[in-house]
Amino acid sequence: MNNVLNPSRFKYFRLARSMMDIADCRDLRQVQALVYMILFLQASAKLSTCYAYIGVALRSAVRMGLHRSFADACFSPIEAESRKRLFWVIQRMDTYVGALLGLPHSLSEDDIDQEYPTEVDDQYITETGILPQPEGVPALISGANAHAKLVQILDKIVRYVYPLKATNAAQGDVKSYSVSYAKILEIERDLKNWQDELPMGLKPGGDAPPPIIRYVAPPSRSRLLRLIIIGCNICSEWPTLTLK
């Protein structure tokens, strides 16, 4: 992290920024380059700027139709999977960074019919078709898909546990909010079902190959999915905790 925060690193970001018009991204490579810039901003703790760049990337993706599933489109398997992967990376960042900043995300779930990326490793995706993943070997993308589904639950938490509009007005300018306990229980079930549906290699203590070990959460180490699910649990339980 210290290396990322080093001021000299920003010269590369500024150079990349000067070499493209981020408001006019029209192909996958340009949007991918924008995503790398967003990842740098996120790692640099510049979340407000990051949020603005995510909005630009998401609108570019929507303009290119990445949020839609085109079963009969003339995309090769490689291009089709690249479109899926790119969209869901941007969508996850939009929801997650927006939740961190307390700001709304840009695209409603009702406007998305894009499928999750096929859970096979890159070497099994060719120009002519997608080969099956070897049995018992979890694909690297399976961790990203699990993360995407978890972030969707986070979006549900933000929408129902932290509503923007007050349900009723109290005296004066004070607004009150009510959170349905049934909705909290529903979210808890969603989290449990999500964890139960994880491939064995991604479950806490699961036996995963080294390439996807960063998604796994052994008891001795904190990993990506474990940290996010803990955050989701805290967010969903916070209203009840404050009442106790």
pLDDT tens digits along 211-232:
555 544 443 333 555 556 656 6
Average pLDDT of the chain, as a whole number: 81
Q: How far apart are the first and last CA of the chain?
A: 37
Residues 114 and 71: their CA atoms lie apart, in Å, by 10
Which residues, 6+ apart, have CB-to-CB distance to 99 below 8 Å?
105, 154, 155, 158, 235
Residues 92 and 96: their CA atoms lie apart, in Å, by 6
Which residues, 6+ apart, have CB-to-CB distance to 114 below 8 Å?
66, 67, 68, 69, 83, 84, 87, 88
pLDDT tens digits along 160-193:
887 777 665 555 566 667 777 888 889 889 988 9
Amino acid code (one letter) for 169: A
Please, are residues 114 and 148 in contact by the beta-carbon 8 Å criterion? no
Q: Which of 86-100, 145-159, 211-225 has the highest mean pLDDT?
A: 86-100
Amino acid code (one letter) for 146: A
Cα Rg of the chain, angstroms: 20
